[in-house]
A = this chain, B = another copy of it.
Amino acid sequence: MTVESLLASPAFQMSILLFVALAGYLIAYRINQSAVVGIILAGILVGPSLLGLVTYTDFVSSLASLGAIVLLFTIGLEFQLEEIAKPKYFFIALLGVIIPWIGGFFLAEAFNFDFKAAVFIGTALTATSIAVTANVLREMGKLQTNAARAIIGAAVVDDILALLVLSLSESIVSDTLAFLPIFITVVKAMGFIVLGIVIGKLFLGKLLVRFDNSKVAEKYPESIFIFAMMVAFFYSIAAELVGLSAIVGSFLAGVAFESNRLRGRGSVFKEGAEHLQVIFASIFFISLGVIMDLRVVTWNLLLFVLALTAVAMLTKVLGCGATAKVQGTSWRDSLIIGVGMVPRGEVAMIVSLIGLNQGLIQQDAYSALILMSLLSTVIPPIILRNWLFRERKPEHDPAG
């Protein structure tokens, strides 16, 4: 085997990626931050910007997308439907989409982007990527707090609303503002979520219980784990099919299985999914760093990036946090919700790529959006860990 083919081999790429992940843990430990932040920073370090050791190959991108799906599945397993499907979270999500859209639009106009680009830049600010915040909350053992439930609940709704905004924006810039396609988009997305939960709870949950009690599962206990992961991946595909993020699908699969958590063997697949997640979510976080090429940044662009990031953060804090406050949430929890909704992660990156491909934005706006995604993803975990969840006195969480 030649050295060249070796470098391209999956095993070699895996060993390098895990090495980078390990470096990420060390960085996170050194700077006393969440592992997510450390791993993303390690990704930037080895990515094309600096060392150039890891590039965003098909293999890396495949594993990263699997990682995000598995991550949200394991997070879904922690939640009961009733905890996150509350009307008040809908309003948090709604304002958290509208205000960033408006904010992004006017900032882009102020920086002399044309109308279409400005609409699109606003659009890219709308969707929260829940993967990062959820993992940070879990790392800190805060997943069962009320603020965390609000963040997760709102982030799922947020994804639907952002999809709606994307359709709307595409209509606006193509001067064919049509009601029907947008309506269909939303109905499909909502239909998927409702159907996904109903099928999950009523049919798949029961199938899982039956399968668990079957002789096949008795003989091959690992087959339950395979069954559960298969459902998670099918759900993520179904979500993509209706235009939602794949991770919303796997999250729903996790939620659907939650209440069906089985006595003995049933918890096996949860542990299994978490082990998969350790490896593949790391690769997802590395990929967030690797996708970023800092070399494109000029001083001019930097100013826009900083302003855009500030707007991206403030509009979510305002849109989500203020709504939560109005609903009677405490100041601290409102801030946690606002900051927790800030990360745009891979969702904004995907939207930006759509805009670039459709010619709505150019390379400069694209780079700025990617950088904004990165900064908005790295900063909130730092704020959450060091200020909002800093434990000055023993804290009693109203955990469910």
Contacts and interface: CB of A to CB of B under 8 A. Distances in A.
A9 interface: yes
A220 interface: yes
Given A65-B10, A278-B225, A233 B18 contact: yes
A56 to B, nearest CB: 14
Interface string A258-299: 000000000000011001101100100000000000000000
A229 B18 contact: yes
Contacts of A275: 225, 271-272, 275-276
Contacts of A230: 15, 18-19, 21-22
A63 to B, nearest CB: 8
A28 B220 contact: yes
A10 B66 contact: yes
Chain copies in the assembled complex: 2
A69 B18 CA distance: 15
A59 interface: yes
A239 to B, nearest CB: 9
Contact of A216 (B6, B26, B63, B240): B26
A29 B219 contact: yes
Contacts of A233: 11-12, 14-15, 18
Given A1-B243, A10-B65, A278-B272, A234 B29 contact: no
Interface in A207-251: 215-216, 219-220, 222-223, 225-227, 229-230, 233-234, 236-237, 240-241, 243, 246
A35 interface: yes
A216 B29 contact: yes
A25 interface: yes
4 closest A-B pairs by CB: A15-B233, A18-B230, A10-B62, A275-B275
